[in-house]
A and B are shown apart, each in its own frame.
Chain A
Amino acid sequence: GAVVSQHPSWVICKSGTSVKIECRSLDFQATTMFWYRQFPKQSLMLMATSNEGSKATYEQGVEKDKFLINHASLTLSTLTVTSAHPEDSSFYICSATNTGTGRVNEQFFGPGTRLTVL
């Protein structure tokens, strides 16, 4: 149980285009989803927290208009990188949690999406 998938697993796009990454909880309802960014050989940097049906909360320094997050259902959140540039190339990882279980802080991670912007 507690499986999280991401799609696509990797994507290459041209500079200036937009890319959408999906994060799905396959066997549980994700009341909260998190989006992280990871640079090579570095730790995970939290970008934003999204709760189903409400606006995402972005971490300081993360551009809301550039990284659009939508959490339309209890099993799906999307991250759209708008007008992507080479510096947006990174490994994007989502995680999901179900606060209704009472298992505080137990996040289940997706396999990640490798974005390369040419």
Chain B
Amino acid sequence: GNSVTQMEGPVTLSEEAFLTINCTYTATGYPSLFWYVQYPGEGLQLLLKATKADDKGSNKGFEATYRKETTSFHLEKGSVQVSDSAVYFCALGSNTGKLIFGQGTTLQVKP
């Protein structure tokens, strides 16, 4: 079945460091891929998405490229800020409309 695997956290970085959060998936067909962010005590917000192979989703300095050959959708940001501290979820959209989430990766950015 479809599944999503994220790197385990927490990831702790200093401000302005480079961020990578790995995400790989298993799926049949060509699913859409998403990154969601969850700030403490809040629901999820869509950060970026990609709907087909080689698409690059980007938002707020974050980027992720849909790599079909490696079944990956790694999240990157060149220079993180303290305000980026949150939990990040990689998700796969199934053909039933459901989202399948990875386990989440906590990012802590220190000043």
Contacts and interface: CB of A to CB of B under 8 A. Distances in A.
B27 interface: no
Main secondary structure of the interface of A (DSSP, over half): strand
Q: Size class of B's contact patch? A: 20 to 34
A77 interface: no
A116 B101 CA distance: 24
Interface of B: 31-32, 34, 36, 41-46, 49, 89, 93-94, 97-99, 101-104, 106
Interface of A: 4, 6, 32, 34, 41-44, 46, 49, 93, 95, 97, 99, 104-112, 114
Given A43-B103, A44-B89, 15 more contacts: A4-B43, A32-B97, A43-B101, A44-B101, A46-B98, A49-B97, A93-B43, A99-B97, A104-B32, A105-B93, A105-B97, A106-B49, A109-B44, A111-B42, A112-B43
